[in-house]
Amino acid sequence: MQAASSFDVVVIGAGAAGLFCAGVAGQRGLRVLLVDHAEKLAEKIRISGGGRCNFTNLETGPANFLSGNPAFCRSALARYTPRDFIALVQRHRIPWHEKHKGQLFCDESSEDLIAMLLRECEAGGVTRWQPCRVAAVRRAAVRGFELDTDRGSVRARRVVVATGGLSIPKIGASDFGYRLARQFGHRVVEPRPALVPLTFDATAWAPFAALAGLSLEVTVSTGSGSAAGRFLEDLLFTHRGLSGPAVLQISSYWQPGTPIALDLAPGQDLASALREAKAVSRRQLGNELATRLPARLAEAWCAPLGHLAARPLPEVKDKDLAALAASLQHWMLTPAGTEGYRKAEVTAGGVDTRELSSQTMESRRVPGLHFIGEVVDVTGWLGGYNFQWAWASGHACAEAL
């Protein structure tokens, strides 16, 4: 029988968190094996940010993350910051730029970041097996773990699970991390698609389907108390529902069966503005609305008003103006669902953080077993926060191995 290969650490999952953690651990002098079942390396990094990878956000803080345990991410984020990652990117001479609200992107290609992470692994002498399937992980009789893989048995003092979430199954996402967590007695906060377009019942959506392609800045909110979310971002109408940054952000907070509230004219007091216009103008209501909103939106909103939309403003009652303004600025609608993992950028939920150390990402149940990145119940907003969590959690873990 072939003898088992032996390593200090096996990292399962060569995505953002796993590659980064493996490189740091290797450079600390540990013998690291990095295993991934996918044919291609780090596909999610490659396709992220439209191929330019929004690799961090300058404004990253715990408030940008959802978790059943919101304080969990605090320590790792504070100990490895966007500045630390930028320093690494600069050491590798990768050109980058800030796009919007602190979001940093590669100037050229996300391939640059993948190459950087690979060089860091090489500098740490990391062994990489890919594609390679892990069939089983168990505790060794004396100390550490034994793994059964396509390339034979492996022994290791520690195992780091960095298998990510369920989004985009066609590029390697799996529930392996959740299954492994449960196998070792961990609770898993029910995973759900997040940063995902919202869909509506086809009949209810029919009046808005013609708006597909229209984009405008809105305020969107949902929930209440500590579970509430509110964003000022761009909204995109689609054939099946709503998308765009505003809706991706709010989808992470949305609970099935509950409404979202939209203000389609943020920063305006439409009711007062229409009343004031009525005092000085005989313009038709529909035309007046089109001076304050995108024309297609004004048209869609006027359609159900019938003749009222064609009336000169002075002939429209104040209460009708107020009702029209409210329908635009307090638009309440209940999504039927989401576009699911096929379109979700991330998975919310995951390995329950109450059973992990926030300093080392190590299991409190099984010494030597760590969970990092998206597999953990820490989900960032849109805008580079999820990669920053991958780097920060990977770093906290690597320092403790």
Binding site for ligand FDA (CB under 6 A): 12-18, 35-38, 44, 47-49, 53-54, 134, 162-164, 167-168, 172, 174, 176, 345-346, 373-375, 384-387, 390
- Minimum CB distance to ligand FDA smaller for 244 or for 286: 244
Bond into 131 cis (ω within 30): yes
CB of 22 to ligand FDA, least distance (A): 11
CB of 259 to ligand FDA, least distance (A): 27
CB of 53 to ligand FDA, least distance (A): 6
Which residue's CB comes closest to ligand FDA? 15
- Minimum CB distance to ligand FDA smaller for 211 or for 246: 246
**Pairing verdict, β 152-161 and 5-12:** parallel
> Looking at residue 107, what DSSP letter applies?
S
Distance CA 134, CA 149 (A): 4
Q: 170 by DSSP, 3-state: which?
A: helix
The single residue listed with the structure tokens 């405008």 is 216
CB of 212 to ligand FDA, least distance (A): 21
- Minimum CB distance to ligand FDA smaller for 36 or for 352: 36
- Minimum CB distance to ligand FDA smaller for 38 or for 236: 38
- Minimum CB distance to ligand FDA smaller for 37 or for 128: 37
CB of 62 to ligand FDA, least distance (A): 16
Distance CA 31, CA 290 (A): 65
- Minimum CB distance to ligand FDA smaller for 229 or for 266: 229
The answer to whether 104 and 86 are in contact (CB under 8 A) is: yes
By the 10 Å C-beta count (0-12 exposed, 13-18 middle, 19+ buried), 304 is classed as exposed
Task: For the chain, state the CA radius of gyration.
Answer: 25
Q: Which residues contact 96 (CB under 8 A, 6 or more apart)?
A: 55, 86, 89, 104, 105, 106, 107
CB of 33 to ligand FDA, least distance (A): 12
